[in-house]
Structure 1
Amino acid sequence: MVTLSDFQRIGVGLVGFGIFFILFGMLLYFDSVLLAFGNILFLSGLVFIIGFRRTFTFFFQRQKMKGSSFFLGGLLIVLMRWPLLGMLLEAYGFITLFRSAWTQSVAGEVRKTPIKP
């Protein structure tokens, strides 16, 4: 079992509420206020979970600059009340940021799968 500090527990709650507001905003035909609130909660929760320095270094690594710029640019566009375009940019940035983590986890699961000859 993973032990979490109080700040990390708060961060998990903020990330959970952020995801809820993002999904609820998308359900209500891309309500820009809910999407912006969800994005802010998600990012602040991420800072609480892994810390400010680690969050900053994650988003501003040289190989992740393309994904980070699309994600943060999409966040700014959502805040400027263009929710559909902003969420599309955020989705592309999110996929670009976490592409390597997804391929590593999928490859690990495929290796664990038993294969019958």
Structure 2
Amino acid sequence: MITITELQKIGVGTAGFGLFFILLGILLYFDSVLLAFGNLLFLAGLSLIIGLRKTCFFFFQWHKLKATSFFLGGVAMVLLRWPLLGMILEAYGFINLFKGFFPVAFGFLGNAFDIPYLSALFRRLQGGSSSMV
């Protein structure tokens, strides 16, 4: 069983609030203050969850430098009050940073929830060979 420290619990809450503020900032027509606050909370929460050293190692691997530069450049653009361009850059960087994690997440969602068409869609996105019908 995995033990979760108090610092990691705080990190999960911080990252969750960060995602909430990002979603709220997008819903309120790309409000730059909410997006900037959400970005900072998300990055701080990620650092608290996995640790500062592992966070730096994840972002600054040689083969992920392009995606990291797009993601952190997007964060900088949001902080400089260019929210639409910043979120586009962030989305591109986020997809490229976490593209290895998406099949695992889709596989988990396909197996965890027994929703007829949705679980088949998640299994297909995972790369499994299941039909949609």
For the criterion TM > 0.5, the same-fold answer is yes
Output the TM-score relative to the length of structure 2: 0.78
Name the structure 2 match of 1:11.
Answer: 11
* CA distance in 1: counterparts of 2:107 and 2:84, whole angstroms: 33
Name the structure 2 match of 1:21.
Answer: 21
RMSD of the alignment, in Å?
Answer: 2.2
Name the structure 2 match of 1:80.
Answer: 80
Structure 1: segments with no counterpart, 5+ residues: none
* CA distance in 2: counterparts of 1:7 and 1:74, whole angstroms: 27
Shift of residue 114, structure 1, vs aligned partner:
7.2
Change (3 A) 1:66 1:10: same
* CA distance in 1: counterparts of 2:78 and 2:127, whole angstroms: 40
Shift of residue 111, structure 1, vs aligned partner:
7.5
Alignment check: 8 A CA contact 2:71 2:91 kept: yes
4+ residue runs of structure 1 moved beyond 6 angstroms? 111-115
After the TM superposition, which residues 1-117 of structure 1 pair with which residues of structure 2 at under 5 Å, given as runs?
Answer: 2-103=2-103
The structure, 1 or 2, with the larger RCO (C-alpha pairs under 8 Å, 6+ apart) is: 1
* CA distance in 1: counterparts of 2:107 and 2:42, whole angstroms: 27
Percent of pairs identical after alignment? 59
- State the SS of the aligned residue for 1:25: helix
* CA distance in 1: counterparts of 2:18 and 2:66, whole angstroms: 23
Amino acid of the residue matched to residue 12 of structure 1? V
Equivalent pairs counted in the alignment come to: 115
Structure 2: segments with no counterpart, 5+ residues: 109-122
Output the TM-score relative to the length of structure 1: 0.88
